[in-house]
């Protein structure tokens, strides 16, 4: 009788130990997924901050350029309209889970980048504007912001890669599907980015 109780207690103790290990492992896996998800969200915030910085610089740039009466109004209109479209889009962190919304956001930002590039290329035809101190400062700030955007987008893609890899690996994939952790979207090159722009004067 005593031998049976000892064996029973050993089996029960072994089962409790396995259950405790599984619970602790599950909690650690879940917490790791939460940490990675928050890292992606934080990285996304940095991308948004840089896009906001660019959006804030654009009105000053456009107003400086408007002072030159002969400047092509169509180029200024394109920049202003592209900025307005970007500003009208409501962006939440839920965009990271919606491929279509993410693609739309990226496309609008790409249109704004294209309009700004055309503006800066057109400026080459205006030596007085190129020498304007305000314009030079704004151009330098804008170029710095574009570099920051590129850096933050790269960092964002790196954090998304870590997160996506983690939720796809077994056994994390079990917890990811149980608790609703989904793939996040990557920033991709805009269509036609592989073709260098044609600059004509």
Task: Give the Cα-Cα-Cα angle 153, 154, 157 (nearest 5 degrees).
Answer: 85
Dump pLDDT digits (tens) for 1-17.
466 566 667 777 788 88
> Using an 8 Å Cβ cutoff, are 62 and 71 in contact?
no
| Percent of the chain whose pLDDT exceeds 70 | 87
Q: Residue 163 CB: number of other CB atoms within 10 A?
A: 25
Average pLDDT over residues 113-125: 82
Please say whether the beta carbons of 65 and 119 come within 8 A.
Answer: yes
Give the residue-averaged pLDDT of 67-77. Answer: 71
Distance between CA atoms of 119 and 65, rounded to whole angstroms?
A: 9
pTM: 0.72
Distances 73 to 120, 135, 193, 201 between C-alpha atoms, Å: 13, 17, 25, 17
- What is the arithmetic mean of pLDDT over 114-130? 79
Domains and CATH numbers, the chain: 2-179 (1.20.1440.20)
Average pLDDT, whole number, for the chain? Answer: 81
CA torsion sign for 50, 53, 58, 61 is negative
Per residue in 14-61, pLDDT tens?
A: 888 888 888 888 888 889 999 999 999 899 889 888 888 888 888 888
Among 114, 95, 121, 101, smallest CA distance to 190 is for 114
Under 8 Å between Cβ of 143 and 163? no
- Token reading at 117: 């590039």
pLDDT digits over 163-174, tens only? 999 999 988 888
């Amino acid at each position: 009788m005593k031998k049976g109780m000892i064996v029973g207690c050993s089996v029960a103790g072994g089962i409790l130990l396995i259950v405790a290990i599984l619970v602790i492992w599950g909690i650690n896996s879940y917490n790791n997924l939460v940490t990675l998800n928050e890292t992606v969200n934080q990285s996304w915030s940095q991308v948004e901050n840089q896009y906001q910085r660019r959006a804030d610089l654009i009105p000053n740039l456009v107003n400086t350029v408007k002072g030159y009466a002969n400047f092509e109004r169509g180029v200024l209109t394109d920049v202003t309209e592209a900025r307005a479209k970007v500003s009208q889009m409501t962006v939440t962190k839920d965009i990271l889970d919606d491929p279509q919304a993410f693609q739309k956001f990226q496309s609008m930002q790409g249109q704004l980048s294209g309009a700004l590039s055309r503006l800066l290329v057109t400026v080459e035809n205006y030596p007085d504007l190129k020498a304007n101190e305000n314009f030079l400062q704004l151009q330098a700030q804008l170029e710095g912001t574009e570099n920051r955007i590129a850096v933050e987008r790269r960092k964002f893609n790196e954090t998304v890669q870590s997160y996506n890899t983690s939720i796809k690996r077994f056994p994390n994939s079990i917890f990811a599907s149980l608790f609703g952790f989904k793939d996040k979207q990557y920033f991709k090159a805009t269509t036609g980015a592989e073709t260098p722009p044609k600059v004509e004067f």
